Amino acid sequence: MRIAVLSGKGGTGKTTVAASLALVTTNSQYIDCDVEEPNGFLYLKPEFSRSSEVKVRVPLIDESICTHCGACARICQFNALAVTPNRVLTFPELCHHCGACSLVCEAGAITEVDRRIGVIEADAVGFAVQGRLDVGEPVGIPILDDLKIWIEPGRTAILDCPPGASCAVVHSLEDCDFAILVTEPTPFGLHDLKIAAELVKTMGIPAGIVLNKAGKDNSIIETFCTEQNLPILLKIPYSRQIATDYSNGILPVQASSEWAYLFGELAAKLPGLAQGVKA
């Protein structure tokens, strides 16, 4: 069972929901897919004892046999190669690892070599797993591919997706059984919720809503959810106490038994999790 937690923008409480859900669910894994800025560890405080480098294959040019024909630069859709009369310039951070350049090089001057772009880190029991993109690297998709290898069959994986609706979010959502869309009752929240809802609908993934920072009037979100037949699974009130705890690295489920109970109720509403909530 894979549950994705996403939001159309950052700062809506996505990590609060994902990490809390992982804590109240039995035999779960918290998978931090926000590889540009993983932050679930701030709240779950795991001891990362295992790690694995994420590497991609990039071209290496043998100038001694290169004829400077230019074919590699012409086939590259990402401007990761430039051919001058006497040298091939490579820009490995732009490479998308498609392998096309080495296929078209008739001189056989291109080999592919490993290049590190980030790391996967996990605690000893595989409860907390995060991907982390190295500073300066622009493309985190290969890290998401490697992260999914760490999801163990038979366990419930809670995927904390990147914010927005980018390729990285689409990639995180693939193979998920259910999506929780976290939003807040503001015009910005509605705007981004519409994008996220359209995305999961297009991908055919059933979804429900967690409404964070709920106030007296939440009709801006409730009306949309009614129109779209999206159930509101949980409302988290706008609360100074929750915000203070959060800024101190404490999740609502860690601060109060009431919130542990309410998140347990949320988990019980998710497909396949009714029997998987901690007492």
Residues near ligand SF4 (CB under 6 A) are 59, 61, 66-72, 75-76, 78, 80-81, 83, 88, 95-101, 104-105, 107, 109-110
Tell me the closest approach of the beta carbon of residue 35 to ligand SF4, in angstroms: 20
Tell me the closest approach of the beta carbon of residue 73 to ligand SF4, in angstroms: 7
3-state secondary structure of 43: helix
Tell me the closest approach of the beta carbon of residue 174 to ligand SF4, in angstroms: 22
**50 vs 116 by CB, closer to ligand SF4:** 116
Tell me the closest approach of the beta carbon of residue 38 to ligand SF4, in angstroms: 26
Q: Write out the DSSP string of 138-200.
A: ---HHHHHHHHHTPPTTSEEEEEPPSSSSHHHHHHHTT-SEEEEEE-SSHHHHHHHHHHHHHH
Cβ pair 143, 52 in contact under 8 A: no
d(CA 5, CA 264): 16
**80 vs 128 by CB, closer to ligand SF4:** 80
Enter the DSSP assignment of 115: E
Tell me the closest approach of the beta carbon of residue 102 to ligand SF4, in angstroms: 7
Q: Which of 17, 14, 24, 26 is nearest to 155 (CA)?
A: 26
**76 vs 197 by CB, closer to ligand SF4:** 76
Q: Dihedral of CA 211/6/255/248: which sign?
A: negative
Contacts of 164 (CB under 8 A, 6+ apart): 8, 9, 10
b/e for 165-203, b at 16 or more Cβ within 10 A?
Answer: beebbebbbeebbbbbbbbbbeeebbebbeebbebbeee
d(CA 209, CA 243): 20
**66 vs 209 by CB, closer to ligand SF4:** 66
Tell me the closest approach of the beta carbon of residue 103 to ligand SF4, in angstroms: 9
**92 vs 164 by CB, closer to ligand SF4:** 92
Tell me the closest approach of the beta carbon of residue 91 to ligand SF4, in angstroms: 8
**67 vs 239 by CB, closer to ligand SF4:** 67
**19 vs 110 by CB, closer to ligand SF4:** 110
